[in-house]
């Protein structure tokens, strides 16, 4: 997606160690119109899947997932990383390693909002190693739901996430793909 690519070139910062700082338009500060355009793009890429729910992980997945869900007219569920007091005691819970936090994080969904027979579209900000997204897939499957598509704003192909997701056999889309961040550069896949 050219709009997002140009924005990464303009405002993205390669912090080294494979970390791309996009907090002026994706997380912390969100460019609402860019996010709207990304949601529209995802909705077109996944329109044919007849998804019944969009699933993401808090915090930075919420904006792209909500923008997508608005176009698809679907509810969004965001997996919590800590269990709020309003959640029942029986929950779906998995753990996934967090690249940016350097530790395992919990992903928790209430059984009230992820149920058998749902067709789940997973949307997140990054596809890096794929570990967060695989965590969401485990939650969906535990609930008896089917994951029908996976979308990420930005793929870092050098971290192997796409290979990690291949065996799922579902459509995986990223709006921008980065193949190298070596030597302070940002090199796109194509």
Residues that bind a copy of itself (CB under 8 A): 15, 19, 21, 23-25, 27-33, 35-36, 54, 58-59, 62-63, 66-67, 69-70, 73-78, 80, 84-87, 100, 109-110, 112-113
> Tokens 């994951």 correspond to what residue?
147
Nearer to a copy of itself, 77 or 148 (CB): 77
Nearer to a copy of itself among residue 85 and residue 184 (C-beta): 85
Cβ-based nearer residue to a copy of itself, 54 or 128: 54
SS3 state of residue 122: strand
Q: Which is nearer to a copy of itself, 106 or 168 (by Cβ)?
A: 106
Q: How far is the CB of 150 from a copy of itself (least distance, A)?
A: 19
Instruction: Name the token pair of 181.
Output: 């961040």
Identify which of residues 139 and 165 has a Cβ nearer to a copy of itself in the complex.
139
Q: How far is the CB of 2 from a copy of itself (least distance, A)?
A: 20
The minimum distance between CB 44 and a copy of itself, in angstroms, equals 16
The CB-of-117 to a copy of itself minimum distance in angstroms stands at: 16
Do residues 56 and 79 touch, judged by C-beta distance below 8 A?
yes
**Sign of the C-alpha dihedral computed for residues 62, 86, 98 and 119 taken in this order:** negative
Q: Is 13 helix (H, G, I), strand (E, B) or coil?
A: strand
DSSP code string of 53-105: EEEEETTTTHHHHHHHHHHHT--EEEEBSS--TTS-SS-EEEEEEETTTTEEE
């Amino acid at each position: 997606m050219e709009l997002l690519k140009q924005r990464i070139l303009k405002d993205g910062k390669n912090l080294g160690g494979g970390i791309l700082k996009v907090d002026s338009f994706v997380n912390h500060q969100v460019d609402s119109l860019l996010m709207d355009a990304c949601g529209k793009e995802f909705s077109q890429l996944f329109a044919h899947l007849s998804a019944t729910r969009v699933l993401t992980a808090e915090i930075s997945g919420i904006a792209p997932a909500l923008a997508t869900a608005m176009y698809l007219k679907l509810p969004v569920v965001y997996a919590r990383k800590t269990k709020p007091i309003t959640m029942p005691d029986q929950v779906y819970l998995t753990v996934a390693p967090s690249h940016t936090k350097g530790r395992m994080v919990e992903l928790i969904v209430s059984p009230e909002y992820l149920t058998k027979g749902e067709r789940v579209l997973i949307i997140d900000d990054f596809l890096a190693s794929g570990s967060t997204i695989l965590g969401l897939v485990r939650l969906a499957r535990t609930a008896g739901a089917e994951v029908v598509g996976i979308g990420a704003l930005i793929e870092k192909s050098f971290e192997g996430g796409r290979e990690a997701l291949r065996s799922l056999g579902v459509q995986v889309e990223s709006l921008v793909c980065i193949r190298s961040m070596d030597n302070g550069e940002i090199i796109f896949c194509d």
